[in-house]
A and B are shown apart, each in its own frame.
Chain A
Amino acid sequence: MKTQRAFSYEEWPMKRKLFAYMLILGAILIISFFIGLLIFGNVSTPERTMSEALGLQMSVYEKDVLTHFEYIAAAGINLSEDMSFLMNRFLSARNISFDDLADNEELIRQLQNEMISPMRQSLLQEDCSGIFVVWDTTVNSHISYSNESRTGMYLQINGYETANPSVLLYRGLSDVGKNNNIMPHRKWNLEINTDMFDEYFSLKDSSTPYDEAYVFSSIDRLPGTSESAMHLIVPVRGSDDVFYGICGFEISESYFMTYHAQPSSMAHLSCLLSEFTESGAIEARRSFSCGVLNGYYRAPGGVLTYSKAGKDLYSYKGDSPEYIGITKKISLSPNNKDHLLSVMVLKSDYDSIRTTSLLKNSLLVLLLLFFTVTCSMFFSKRFISPILKAIDEIKTDSALLSESTVPEINDLFEFLSKKDTLHEKDLNALTQKTEDYLNEINRLESEYEKAKAEIARLAYSRKQEVDPENYKLFLEGINTLTPTERKIFGYYLSGLSVKEILETAKIKESTLRFHNQNIYSKLGVNSLKQLLRYAALMENEE
């Protein structure tokens, strides 16, 4: 029965009710806060945060790459014009045709001597790791591999990341290089194999103007090294549109990694530039990658396949660790198939961010709940305590009422105090009255006792005077009285006068006399005086 009462809201104590109200208020505030965040779009999920961060990074990376490749393309077209001019000048100065260069070691040496300085200058000016010019001729057309071997020069920068980079001769006449203080590369070779440029023969046969025919090669391993590179290839044509060869710039894997390292706070960010394939696969060895400045990244290896992993994100799986990121299709040149830019983070990092976010949110909700409950408890207790204390004080002793911190309680105390004073006065008056009444009662009782004693004395004395026989007759006669007579007899006994009996019984005096005679006769008395004497005696005996 008591438990039922505890769950009945009406029966809840004030403190519990206040706590419940505050708890509800807290819950409403928390829910309103989250609803507000939802409505105003400020709720950030890890996926959304990651997607936004990667999107921002992608825009920076895309701009970097496209700007770089655009500049390189422009520089390549300029180089083509310069080399065409150089060749025309070289040929006209010697009054020879382009075909005369074939199998002529001396002419080729002279040509390379003229080429090397402007090439070195371009190499050091442009944002690239190498420069090449391939002439469509060879120093020895009698050897078995002459169809693929072309004379030319290929210079590379060594230590481009340092303040004092040096230039190396990767392909070309070593003595020409040495005479110009350019040492042969560790993996030097004399001529350039056309296998290095898949587009060589298609450009040779193409009639597209040189400034529209530029193309970026696929990313391939540079012979003899562990370095992969992409080449910008521009055809070099003479004034009579004869195909002189190709020229362009090299962007090596290491150079790309250094040049495009991203300023980002995203740990282990990996950025890729890869060839687009319909199969949705990214081949790491045919991709460039870069990471963040002053950090590290895990360059993907093998083949990555990507698929949707949410609204905006992709999942990249393959031989290397799994990544999460975004991918965008770009075009490096009108003559290239599309390329892909991918900005990715390690899946493990992403999972870690998600877990951390979940923990943080859970902790936040728990903290809010904790503070709501604690504050509700604290404030309800704090608010109710003075009231309860005052009530307790009121219950115990109003005289002990002390100053409360609640003004309303103080007013109540003052009010109660005044009430108490008035009550005390009333009580004193009542007490006095009671005492007076008691005294009067005592006095009356005393007088009554005296009267009773007097009556008894008188009765005794009268009894002594009354004839017992007559008195006996009187007692027996009472039972013979009629109801009316008995009623009138009662009036006499209660001390009413004749006049009072006439008014009370609403009868005439003659009627009373009639009844009196009958009463007297039946009771054996002669007068009202005798009747009252016997009646007093009878009451006294009872």
Chain B
Amino acid sequence: MKKTISVILAIMILLSVAGCGEKETLLSKDDPVTLNLWHVYGEQADSPMNRLVEEFNKTEGLERGVVVKVTNVTSTSRISSQLIDSAEKKPGSLEMPDIFSCHTNTAVSIGADNLVDWNGFFTKEELSDYVPEFISDGTLDGKFCVFPVSKSTYTLYVNGTGFEKFSQNTGVTYDDLATWEGFFDAAEKYYNYSGGQPFCALDYLIRHVELDVMAKGDELTYTEDGWYDFTDPSLKESWMQFAKALVSGHIIVSDLYANTQMMTGEVLAGIGSSAAITYFNDTVTYPDNTTENMDLHVLALPKTGMGSEYMPQTGVGLAAYKTDDKKAEAAYVFIKWFTQAKTNLDFVASTGYMPSNNAAYDSISEYEFINEGYKRLYEAIHTMSESYVPVVRPAYDGYYDKVNVLYAYFRENRGEFVNRINKGESVETLAEETWSFFAGIK
């Protein structure tokens, strides 16, 4: 009798252990859960993210009972305020999405407690498939809230056809653009060569100043309210070299995106996010409607050449608004599928990002890109990955509002600075003036 009971108990224990092998799921194929998604990939253009979402809905989503519905394709500059407005239910705001692209600082504003902690879904083994630094970027108060889908950096884009002509006339080569010194020199030469056209548009001027300070071996300091310490001489030193080029009209702060100004022929080059590759046209169109092949060249960021070089590591991740367990699991299913090696590689290779999945990261060099521009982009990213130190720049509350004031100042005074120089004012004086304005932003 005792033996029989022992056998029954053993069978029951074995069965219960076998049952533990499979995760219990709240999802049902017959009753799919819908997730609204906001993202920032391919705004106004062809969105690779939308195509992958469509593929997910037809495959994994169909099997697991998850439907992802893209309800807003916006930009990194707009999504933060849109999310915060929605989270605060401001009048006129959209309904808060279930999954969304967001920066870590946006996640802080929304509140880690309001977001799904991915640690509750991904096992340690699963998380080991991802670049560890990317994961730590998305962790808030011990909660892994922002899942790294991809990361971008900044690269230098050049209109190859235009540069070729410029190069033939001035002897400036792509190699000259490897350092900021060579870059500014080339910008001046282009300005003269083109009869007053700026050489390059910068999307994120202030970040280049920051990285230059760091590359010179100085520590960048911030005030308590999250703005720069203007008593720091190294900050001014770095600022001034950019300011001189700006007031001289050799380079400009982009009107919105550098790539658009390259397409209109306003500038020969632009420095912007690696993800901007998606938005480039094949041609440059001038006001007389003549066009030329863009022959897009993508180069690594110019180096300061005085120590370690730094590359910004930017880009949003995916977070999920905490509503119910079923939606949280559905979000996990989507993100796991979306960041698996192949999908992650397909996605980043068509959007100009760096993959978050280790296997995708390792195989990107063998990927067959859709055109030469993409290939050159990943060669540039590869070069930077080899010799630059990736850094995540902080963004304090209200930081971007101040930066936008600064950028608007340069846009408004672009022509005015050049006029004043033409009237005899020195570049140094105007550069000092910009420094004063910069330091005066509160």
Indicate whether A187 sits within 8 Å of B279 (C-beta atoms), given known contacts A139-B289, A296-B34: yes
Q: A178 near B255 (CB under 8 angstroms)?
A: yes
Indicate whether A183 sits within 8 Å of B92 (C-beta atoms), given known contacts A138-B289, A224-B46, A225-B46: no
**What residues on A are CB-neighbors of B256 within 8 Å?**
183
Indicate whether A186 sits within 8 Å of B289 (C-beta atoms), given known contacts A159-B74, A159-B78: no
Cβ 8 A contact of B82, one of A162, A174, A183, A189: A162
Q: A189 near B281 (CB under 8 angstroms)?
A: yes
Instruction: Mark each residue of chain A from 426 to 451: 1 if its CB lies under 8 Å from any CB of chain B, else 0.
Output: 00000000000000000000000000
Q: B288 near A186 (CB under 8 angstroms)?
A: no
Chain A residues 307 to 337 lying within 8 A of chain B, measured CB to CB, are: none
**Complex Cα spacing A184 to B50, Å:** 22
* Interface majority SS (helix, strand, loop, mixed), chain B: loop
Shortest beta-carbon distance from B275 to chain A in Å = 12
Cβ 8 A contact of B94, one of A162, A191, A224, A298: A162
* Interface majority SS (helix, strand, loop, mixed), chain A: loop
**What residues on A are CB-neighbors of B72 within 8 Å?**
159, 161-162
Q: B289 near A190 (CB under 8 angstroms)?
A: yes
**What residues on B are CB-neighbors of A161 within 8 Å?**
71-72, 94
Shortest beta-carbon distance from B346 to chain A in Å = 16
Cβ 8 A contact of A188, one of B50, B57, B260: B260
Whether, in the assembled complex, B44 has its beta carbon less than 8 Å from a beta carbon of chain A, the answer is: yes
Shortest beta-carbon distance from A11 to chain B in Å = 54
Shortest beta-carbon distance from A284 to chain B in Å = 12
**Complex Cα spacing A540 to B422, Å:** 187
Whether, in the assembled complex, B216 has its beta carbon less than 8 Å from a beta carbon of chain A, the answer is: no
| Nearest A-chain residue to B47, judged by Cβ | A226
Indicate whether A189 sits within 8 Å of B285 (C-beta atoms), given known contacts A159-B74, A183-B255, A226-B50: yes
Whether, in the assembled complex, A114 has its beta carbon less than 8 Å from a beta carbon of chain B, the answer is: no
Q: B92 near A143 (CB under 8 angstroms)?
A: no
**Complex Cα spacing A149 to B289, Å:** 9
Whether, in the assembled complex, A185 has its beta carbon less than 8 Å from a beta carbon of chain B, the answer is: yes
| Nearest B-chain residue to A320, judged by Cβ | B58
Q: A225 near B260 (CB under 8 angstroms)?
A: no
**What residues on B are CB-neighbors of A183 within 8 Å?**
255-256, 260
Q: A186 near B45 (CB under 8 angstroms)?
A: yes
Whether, in the assembled complex, B264 has its beta carbon less than 8 Å from a beta carbon of chain A, the answer is: yes
**Complex Cα spacing A188 to B281, Å:** 8
Shortest beta-carbon distance from A460 to chain B in Å = 98
Whether, in the assembled complex, B375 has its beta carbon less than 8 Å from a beta carbon of chain A, the answer is: no
**Complex Cα spacing A191 to B288, Å:** 10
**Complex Cα spacing A316 to B308, Å:** 63
**What residues on A are CB-neighbors of B354 within 8 Å?**
none
**What residues on A are CB-neighbors of B285 within 8 Å?**
189-190
Whether, in the assembled complex, B198 has its beta carbon less than 8 Å from a beta carbon of chain A, the answer is: no
Shortest beta-carbon distance from B257 to chain A in Å = 7
Whether, in the assembled complex, A168 has its beta carbon less than 8 Å from a beta carbon of chain B, the answer is: yes
Instruction: Mark each residue of chain A from 146 to 160: 1 if its CB lies under 8 Å from any CB of chain B, else 0.
Output: 100100000010110
**Complex Cα spacing A156 to B74, Å:** 14
**What residues on B are CB-neighbors of A174 within 8 Å?**
260, 264, 266
Whether, in the assembled complex, A295 has its beta carbon less than 8 Å from a beta carbon of chain B, the answer is: yes
Q: A186 near B94 (CB under 8 angstroms)?
A: no
**What residues on B are CB-neighbors of A224 within 8 Å?**
45-46, 281
**Complex Cα spacing A67 to B153, Å:** 48
Instruction: Mark each residue of chain B from 259 to 295: 1 if its CB lies under 8 Å from any CB of chain A, else 0.
Output: 1100110100000000000010100011111100000
Chain A residues 106 to 151 lying within 8 A of chain B, measured CB to CB, are: 138-140, 143, 146, 149
**Complex Cα spacing A352 to B32, Å:** 14
Instruction: Mark each residue of chain A from 356 to 369: 1 if its CB lies under 8 Å from any CB of chain B, else 0.
Output: 00000000000000
**What residues on B are CB-neighbors of A52 within 8 Å?**
none
Indicate whether A187 sits within 8 Å of B281 (C-beta atoms), given known contacts A139-B289, A168-B44, A226-B42: yes
Shortest beta-carbon distance from A291 to chain B in Å = 9
**Complex Cα spacing A164 to B81, Å:** 11
Q: A105 near B287 (CB under 8 angstroms)?
A: yes
**Complex Cα spacing A234 to B34, Å:** 40
**Complex Cα spacing A363 to B255, Å:** 69
What's the tally of chain B residues with a CB closer than 8 Å to chain A? 39
Whether, in the assembled complex, A163 has its beta carbon less than 8 Å from a beta carbon of chain B, the answer is: yes
Whether, in the assembled complex, A537 has its beta carbon less than 8 Å from a beta carbon of chain B, the answer is: no
Most buried by A among B42, B74, B260, B285: B260
Most buried by A among B45, B69, B78, B256: B45
**What residues on A are CB-neighbors of B42 within 8 Å?**
226
Shortest beta-carbon distance from A302 to chain B in Å = 12
Whether, in the assembled complex, A101 has its beta carbon less than 8 Å from a beta carbon of chain B, the answer is: no
Whether, in the assembled complex, B365 has its beta carbon less than 8 Å from a beta carbon of chain A, the answer is: no
Shortest beta-carbon distance from A159 to chain B in Å = 7
Q: A185 near B289 (CB under 8 angstroms)?
A: no
**What residues on A are CB-neighbors of B289 within 8 Å?**
138-140, 143, 146, 149, 190-191
**Complex Cα spacing A140 to B281, Å:** 20
**What residues on B are CB-neighbors of A175 within 8 Å?**
287
Whether, in the assembled complex, A173 has its beta carbon less than 8 Å from a beta carbon of chain B, the answer is: yes
| Nearest A-chain residue to B287, judged by Cβ | A105
| Nearest A-chain residue to B82, judged by Cβ | A162
Chain B residues 40 to 72 lying within 8 A of chain A, measured CB to CB, are: 42-47, 50-51, 57, 67, 69, 71-72
Q: A139 near B92 (CB under 8 angstroms)?
A: no
Whether, in the assembled complex, B324 has its beta carbon less than 8 Å from a beta carbon of chain A, the answer is: no
Whether, in the assembled complex, B30 has its beta carbon less than 8 Å from a beta carbon of chain A, the answer is: yes
**Complex Cα spacing A159 to B51, Å:** 19
**What residues on A are CB-neighbors of B128 within 8 Å?**
none
**Complex Cα spacing A156 to B45, Å:** 12
Chain A residues 211 to 236 lying within 8 A of chain B, measured CB to CB, are: 224-226
Q: A296 near B288 (CB under 8 angstroms)?
A: no
Shortest beta-carbon distance from A199 to chain B in Å = 23
**Complex Cα spacing A298 to B68, Å:** 11
**What residues on B are CB-neighbors of A168 within 8 Å?**
44
Q: A226 near B264 (CB under 8 angstroms)?
A: no
**What residues on B are CB-neighbors of A158 within 8 Å?**
43-44
Indicate whether A186 sits within 8 Å of B260 (C-beta atoms), given known contacts A139-B288, A225-B44: yes
| Nearest A-chain residue to B85, judged by Cβ | A163
**Complex Cα spacing A492 to B46, Å:** 150
**Complex Cα spacing A226 to B43, Å:** 10
**What residues on A are CB-neighbors of B67 within 8 Å?**
296, 298
Indicate whether A186 sits within 8 Å of B47 (C-beta atoms), given known contacts A139-B287, A143-B290, A296-B34: no
Q: B287 near A186 (CB under 8 angstroms)?
A: no
Most buried by A among B51, B259, B288: B288
**What residues on B are CB-neighbors of A296 within 8 Å?**
32, 34, 67, 69
Q: A184 near B260 (CB under 8 angstroms)?
A: yes
Q: B93 near A163 (CB under 8 angstroms)?
A: yes
**What residues on B are CB-neighbors of A191 within 8 Å?**
289
**What residues on A are CB-neighbors of B91 within 8 Å?**
163
Shortest beta-carbon distance from B70 to chain A in Å = 9
Q: B264 near A186 (CB under 8 angstroms)?
A: no
**What residues on A are CB-neighbors of B30 within 8 Å?**
352
Q: A105 near B260 (CB under 8 angstroms)?
A: no
**What residues on A are CB-neighbors of B78 within 8 Å?**
159
**What residues on B are CB-neighbors of A159 within 8 Å?**
72, 74, 78
**What residues on B are CB-neighbors of A156 within 8 Å?**
44
Shortest beta-carbon distance from B323 to chain A in Å = 14
Indicate whether A163 sits within 8 Å of B47 (C-beta atoms), given known contacts A105-B287, A184-B260, A296-B34: no
27 pairs from A and B in contact (CB 8 Å cutoff): A140-B288, A143-B289, A143-B290, A146-B289, A158-B44, A161-B72, A162-B82, A163-B92, A168-B44, A183-B256, A184-B260, A186-B44, A186-B257, A186-B259, A187-B279, A188-B281, A189-B285, A190-B264, A190-B285, A190-B286, A191-B289, A225-B46, A226-B42, A226-B46, A226-B47, A296-B32, A296-B34
List 10 A-B pairs, minimum CB-CB distance, nearest first.
Answer: A163-B92, A226-B46, A186-B44, A186-B279, A140-B289, A296-B34, A174-B264, A296-B67, A190-B285, A183-B256
Besides A163-B94, A168-B44, 15 new A-B residue pairs in contact (Cβ under 8 A), listed by A number: A143-B289, A143-B290, A149-B289, A159-B72, A161-B72, A162-B82, A162-B94, A163-B91, A164-B92, A175-B287, A183-B256, A186-B279, A189-B281, A226-B46, A298-B67
